[in-house]
Amino acid sequence: MSKQEINTKLEELLSQPMDAQRASEGKDILASYQTILVHDHKEQLEKYLADGGEKEDFAPRQDELDQVFSELWTKFTQSKTSWEKAKAESEKQNLARKNEIIKEIEELVNEENIKQAMARIKELEEEWKNIGSVANATYQELQQNYSRARDAFFYNMRIYRELLEHDLKRNLQLKEELAQKMHETLNVDKVKELEMITRSLSAEWDEVGPTFHDKWEEVRDKFKDAQRKAFDKIKEHYQGVRAQLQENLDKKAELCKRIEDMLEQEILSEKRWRKLTDEVIAIQKEWKTIGFVPRQENDMIWQRFKTAGDKFFDQKKAFYASLKSEQDKFRDAKKALVEKAEDLKNSEDWKETTETLIRLQREWKKIGTAHQRDEQRLWKQFRAACNYFFEAKKGFFDTKDERQDQNLKDKEAILQELENLPTGGDDNETIKKIDELVNRFSAVGFVPIEAKNKINNAFKNALNKRYKEIGLDAEDVKKLMYLAKIRDLGDAKGKTDERAVQREERALRDRISKLKATIVQYENNLGFFANSKGANKLKEEVEQKIEQAKQQVEELKEQLQLLKQSKQEGFQNPFVVEDQKKEEQATPDTAEAPESTATTEEESN
C-alpha cells in the first residue's frame, strides 16, 4: 500500500463515525504507514551514507504525503480520544445502572406479590439487555453478580413453577395455532398477501416464549416446514417476476434498436418520414404496454429509448426545415399552374385547351408536394378550374347534334342564296356578294359528319359556277376556290383556326417535298431504260409522270404562296374592289380547287 493510498483510506475513515472497528482500522493504517516510513528512512540513510554523509548527522526528510498523513492522523487521534472519553463515560453510567438493577433484584426476593415480582423481574431483565456495554475489567464480576441475584430470586420463588407450567402450556398452544395458521397460508394465491401473512406469523412465533422441551421440536418442525414452503412459494414467484422483468427488458431493448436502426437510414422523402413517424409513435405506444424491467436497468433502458426518440425527431425537424424552402418552390410552381388553368377555364377552343390542361395536369404530378396547408388549397383551385372547363366542354358537346343540325340548315340556306344570286350586273358587286356568302358559309359551325361532304361539294360547285358566270379565268377561279377552302378551316364557331392554317401549310410543304423526291426517283430510273421499242414506251410514261409531278409542284407552290399572302392580308378576297378603287379585272378560266383535308376536334368526335 502506498502513502497516497494510506492517506485516502485514512480520509475515508475520518468521514465515518468513530467506533471500535474504526479505531482498530486506524491502528492498522498507522502500522502500515510506519512500515513504509521505516523503509523510506532506510533508503534515505543508505543514500546519505553512499553520498559520503555521517550516520550521526543523518536526519530523515518528510515529503508532502508525510505532512498530509501527519495532519490526518492528528485529526484521527483527536476523534479517537473524544470517542474513547465518551465511551468510558457511557460505560461508567452503564455500570452504575446495572449495579442498581442487581440491587433491585436482590430486594425483589422479599416481594410478597409474586405476580408483581414476576412482572418486575421481566422488566429489569429487558432493561439489562438494552443497557449498553461496560468496561472489560468490570464485565465478568458484574455478570456473576447479576446471575447470582437472578438465581436467588427464582430459587425463592417456588410458586413460580406453577406459573411457569401455565406459561409453557400457553406457549405450546400459541405455537401450535401459529403452525396451523402457517400451513393455511399456503392456500393464499396472492403473493403479496402470502408474504405479508408469513412474515407476520414468523414475527409472532419469535415473540412467543418457551414451551415444554419434549414438545418443542415437534411443534417447531411443523411451523418451520410450513414456513419454508411459504417462502419457497414466494421465492418462486419473485424468480418468475425476475424472468418477466428480463423479458420486458429484452422487449424494450428491441424497441430501442428499431428506432436506432431508423436513425442509420437516409430518409429523403416526406412520405418516408411520415411512415417512419407513425412507426415511432406506434413503438412509443407499445413501450407503454410493456411492464417493468429490473430496477438496476430501468434508468439505462429509459435513457436509451428517450435518446433514440429525441434523435429521430431532431432529424425529422432538420429535414422539414430544409424541406420548407423546397416546398415553397413547389408552391410557386403549382400556383403558376393554377393561374394558367384559371386563364383557360373560359376558353371554347376545346381541343387545344383540353390538350393544354392535360399537359398542365401532367406537370402538376411531376412537381413535388408543397406544404400541406398550401397543397390542398392549390389543388382545390386547380381542380376547380379544370372541372369548370371540362364541364363546359361536356355541356357543349352534349348539344352538338342539335347545333350541327341547325348549322346544316343555315349552310343550306346560304347555298340557296348563292344558287339564286343574279349575275350579269356589276361584277365587282357580284364578287362582293359572293365573298360575303363565302364568309357566312365559313362562319357557320360544324355540320353532321355524314352531311359534310355533300353540303361542301354543293357549295363549291355553286361557287365555281358563279365565278365562271361572271367571267373569271381558270387560274383566278382556282385561287378563289382555294381561298374559300382556307376560310373554311374554322373552329366550331366558324372562326379561322390558326392551327388548322398551320397544318395546311405543313401539308403543302410535305406534298411538295414528296413530289420532288418522286421526280428525282423517276429521273434516276430513266437511266436504266435500254433502247428498245418496249423500253421507249415505258420511258415515255415515266417522262409523262415527271411532267405531271412538276406541274403539281408548281400548283402547290402557288397555293402555298396564296396561303402566305392570305395570312398577311387577313384572308381577304383579292378580287373585291371598293367603289373608290375599282379597277378593270381580267376574267380567268375556272378550275376546281382541291378538297380540304383539315379535320377539327368536333369532326373527329
pLDDT in tens, 434-460: 878 888 887 787 888 888 888 888 888
Q: Is the pLDDT of residue 579 over 50?
A: no
pLDDT at 387: 94
The pLDDT mean for the chain works out to 80
Per-residue pLDDT, averaged over 179-202, amounts to 87
Distances (CA, A) of 253 to 137, 293, 296: 63, 11, 15
Per-residue pLDDT, averaged over 200-206, amounts to 87
d(CA 497, CA 289): 72
d(CA 42, CA 46): 6
Three-class SS state of 396: helix
pLDDT at 163: 64
Q: Is 392 exposed, middle or buried (0-12, 13-18, 19+ CB in 10 A)?
A: middle
Count the Cβ atoms, other than its own, within 10 Å of residue 540: 11
Per-residue pLDDT, averaged over 67-92, amounts to 85
pTM of structure:
0.33
* 578-604 CB burial, b ≥16 within 10 A, e <16: eeeeeeebeebebbebeebebebbbee
Query: Which has more pLDDT, 361 or 605?
Result: 361
141 Cβ neighbours under 8 A, 6+ residues apart: none
In 52-158, alpha helices (H): 64-108, 114-130, 136-156
d(CA 348, CA 150): 127
What is the DSSP secondary structure assignment for residue 16, as one 8-state letter? S
Per-residue pLDDT, averaged over 561-571, amounts to 66
178 Cβ neighbours under 8 A, 6+ residues apart: 201, 204, 205, 208, 223
d(CA 78, CA 301): 48
Per-residue pLDDT, averaged over 97-112, amounts to 84
d(CA 272, CA 454): 63
Cell of 535: 423500253
Q: Is the pLDDT of residue 600 over 70?
A: no
Handedness of CA 531, 535, 541, 546 (dihedral sign): negative
Give 509-553 pLDDT, tens digit per residue: 888 898 888 888 888 877 776 555 566 777 788 888 888 888 888
Q: Is the pLDDT of residue 571 over 70?
A: no
pLDDT at 484: 67
Give 373-414 pLDDT, tens digit per residue: 888 999 999 999 999 989 988 888 877 788 888 888 998 898
Which pLDDT band, with edges at 50, 70 and 90, does 300 fall under? Answer: very high
Residue type, 581: K
Which pLDDT band, with edges at 50, 70 and 90, does 588 fall under? Answer: very low
pLDDT at 599: 33
Domain boundaries, the chain: 3-157, 160-242, 294-398, 401-604
Count the Cβ atoms, other than its own, within 10 Å of residue 28: 10
Which pLDDT band, with edges at 50, 70 and 90, does 584 fall under? Answer: very low
Q: What is the largest CA-CA distance in the chain?
A: 178
